[in-house]
Structure 1
Amino acid sequence: MLEACVVFTHAASLEYLRSTLTDYFSDTRHHMTNPKYKQRASTFIHDEFRRFGLETTYHNFVWEGDDFANVIGILKGDNFGTYDDQIIGVGAHYDTVNITKGVDDNGSGCAALLEVARQMTSVGSKRKHTVIFAAFDHEEYEFSKYTPEEDFGLLGSKYLISQWLLPWIQKNYPQTVGAFNPSGIIVLDTAMDYNNSASSQIIPPADLDKFKKLFPDVVKSLQSDNFEGDFLATVFQSVRDGRLANEFHQQWNKMGRAEYEIEMFGLALDLPPNALTDLFRSDHVNFWLNNIPAIFVSDSADLRGKMQKCYHNACDSLGMMLNDDNLNFLAKTSDTIAATVDKLSQNYAVSGAQSVLPVGHSLFTILIALVLALAKQIYLNMA
């Protein structure tokens, strides 16, 4: 029996992404206008987490008399419960506003979240650090029943941190209170609208001067590319989130498929949230507020292509959003997240485990793996 096996990962299943979007994230997921379909989506996430072997739970909370539920899956590492554990997370919200189908916002993030979990649990490997997968409820803003001049959002991640995550850390890592050192969380939101047409990407005119000042290299890149919406936007705070963001950037570039580009939006830690509101409108903000490293990956939502019209509208649908370019763009994002999490969680092959060869590897790659495995077996037999 081999002491270790060559383990292939990071070849996303387009079939899994497509069926997940089509079957569970193609209709409104709102607690008032379509509660049954929303429940169907949350149950699917929960059941998939369990099928992948994650320690799975709901985190229930109440807002203005309505019930909501975050879904959490935990993949424990060897360092679980110790000071050495550097937890890394992946998160995406699964709810929608009351009228949209929500395929891009945020069926895309949920499909990628589940694909990453599928990849990371389908090979014969373990890891030193713990991974947490989280599907957030009630990310979308809605008017309060009692104070209609106010709106509320990002509530699922807010309450998950205060009501579940921090107590969970205190329970399982009591010796690390005040000295916890997580790798951080990757937050997906609206991540599959790829458009390589000229002028398909916009920068809000009111924010153009701010963008030029804060991200001169990004603006130059967009200008040189005729403002094509062909990139994944990665938003992070440079000092605290730099390690996570840099690893994500490196893994993206290793994935090939150069037509799918990336732009890095590194923010100063002291930048006020109202400085660039488009970069502060998803669940990563709550992790920042709790001093937890987080990066936000997105197609830029209503600043790009079809989503300029379809963001929070009914046309964010399968017919509008599900095509080969978008699916492959989402696949590269999924693969990059899986590779980043594998690297930071320090995965390693398990003795005697069976490798899983995902779709997408060439016959040549498989033959090389078999030759290496055979050579190692011969060496072990001779030793």
Structure 2
Amino acid sequence: MKHDLSKFLSISRHNETEKSVARAAIKRALEAVGLNSMTHTFIHEESNEIGANVIAVQKGPYFGTGNDKMLILSANYDTVEGSPGVDDNGSGVAAVLEAARVLSTLDNLYSRQNTIVYVFFDMKHKALAGSHAFVEDVLLPLMERTNTKVIGTVIADGLLHFDPFPASQAMPPEFESFFPEAAQLLHEHSHMGDFIQISSRNDVDEELVRRYTRAYDRSCQMLSADWEFHPWSLNLQMNIGNITTLDRLYKLHPFLYSDHSSFFFHSKQKTVQIPTIYLTDTLNLRGVRQYCVQCDGLYMMTEQNMKFLALMTDSLIRLLIEMSGSSAAGVVDDLYSFMFNIDVE
């Protein structure tokens, strides 16, 4: 992961020239572990710019049939202008690539029942255009055509920044009114940036949250037992069904503005619900990044932050192993040293 972050995920990926370099590197990394990738192009409705998502499918035995239970692990690879984008969202891309490497290796040794799709979204920073196009143009038609069920989607958006110092964590103005219990927990933790935020809906996503939290807790037990400060998870469950006014939706906007919204709100949401969780270190609400866009560079790759990224990647791998029906699930802790020789290198 350190190699990916330092080589091609620490350079701005805002314009098409910059993004094409990143896409090529992502595709090479996938091909190196035996995964063929495809480029899904789309047009940004307002600017008429052409965007490009990268998709790789790790097929299960029931792929393309109604018996398949699909998992999606995704991260956006574009950046805001002027940002090197190591945390936002080089860290998410690196974690997804590492998960793909480990799961592909395990496929050589263990059977797996369900399909895993790895998606790298373009244009998150342009109205979530890439994830919206993926859901509408690729995912929903596939689900309708094959009767495939999606049992879980994970959006990884900033998994690197761990800042265990009092008052290092900010939150949007409406945080306390929407999430009073979470606000109380954050207060008890002295507003330290020592957690991962898990955003979800309070009905559709409950089972996915439960299973991810179990994987995350196990990763913490295995990886952070000797840390001075112990990472924890801050769960933000949104009651989307109770949003009845534009004013309330506007106030909830800071908690919805990432690619999970494309899976929450789509053209068939009344009849097709896609379990989805959003994982983030809160990006520019934490530590020095509150004040400095350009600071999201190699500076972020401290030993502490890289350990946190390894922990987050561990949790994603554990979730995929369990939910994909891999026979490695029963021996995952025995495989631990094998899996995480990857560590942060």
CA distance in 2, matches of 1:87, 1:236: 18
What are the Cα deviations for residues 198-243 of structure 1, in whole angstroms up to 9, with x where unaligned? 1111223x314414xx341x22221121111000000000210111
Q: CA deviation at 1:163?
A: 1.6
Amino acid at match of 2:238: L
Which of 263, 270, 275 is the matching residue for 2:251? 275
User: Which residue among 76, 80, 99 is the counterpart of 1:97?
Assistant: 80
Give the Cα separation in 2 of the matches to 1:360 and 1:190. Answer: 22
- State the partner residue of 2:113: 128
Q: Distance in 1 between matches of 2:217 and 2:103?
A: 20
**Structure of higher RCO (CA pairs closer than 8 Å, 6+ residues apart):** 1
Q: What is residue 233 of structure 2 aligned with on the other side?
A: 262
In structure 1, what is the equivalent of residue 63 of structure 2? 80
Residue aligning to 2:338 = 357
Q: Name the structure 1 match of 2:33.
A: 52
Gaps of 5+ in 1: 1-16, 142-152, 350-354, 362-383
The one-letter code matched in structure 1 to 2:311 is K
Q: Are 1:284 and 2:221 an aligned pair?
A: no
Which digits, 9 at most, give the CA deviation of each residue in 1:299-326, with x for residues without a partner? 012221122123xx2221112x110111
Q: Decide whether the 8 Å contact of 1:193 with 1:307 is kept in 2.
A: no
Q: 2:170 aligns with which of 199, 202, 205?
A: 202
Residue 334 of structure 1 aligns with which residue? 313
Mapped partners of 2:274, 2:9: distance in 1: 29
> When the two structures are superposed, what TM-score results if normalisation uses the length of structure 2?
0.86
| Contact 1:119–1:338, Cα closer than 8 Å, also in 2 | yes
Q: 1:61: which partner in 2?
A: 42
Q: For residues 305 and 237 of structure 1, do their structure 2 counterparts lie closer, same or farther at Cα, with a shift above 3 Å needed?
A: same
The whole-number CA distance in structure 2 between the counterparts of 1:360 and 1:69 is 32
Q: Calculate percent identity across the aligned residue pairs.
A: 28
Letter in 1 for 2:260: H
Distance 1:339 1:156 in 2: 27
Structure 2 counterpart of 1:318: 298
Give the aligned CA root-mean-square deviation in angstroms: 2.0
Partner of residue 26, structure 1:
10
Specify the alignment match of 2:217 in structure 1.
253
Is the Cα–Cα contact under 8 Å of residues 143 and 149 in structure 2 kept in the other structure? Answer: no
Cα distance in 1 for partners of 2:175, 2:78 equals: 31
What residue number does 1:154 align with? 128
Return the alpha-carbon distance in structure 1 between the equivalents of residues 186 and 139 of structure 2: 38
In structure 2, the residue matched to 1:298 is: 280
2:142 & 2:30 partners in 1: Cα distance? 19
Letter in 1 for 2:128: L
The 1-side partners of 2:288 and 2:261 are apart by: 26
Give the TM-score of the pair, scaled to structure 1: 0.78
Number of equivalences:
314
Identify unmatched segments of 5+ residues in structure 2.
244-248, 267-272, 329-334
**Which amino acid in structure 2 is aligned with residue 287 of structure 1?**
F
Contact conserved, 1:193 with 1:306, CA < 8 A, in 2? no
Which residue type is aligned with residue 252 of structure 1?
A: Y
Q: Is the 8 A contact 1:57 1:73 kept in 2?
A: yes
Letter in 1 for 2:67: D
2:291 maps to which residue?
A: 309
Secondary structure of residue in 2 paired with 1:232 = strand
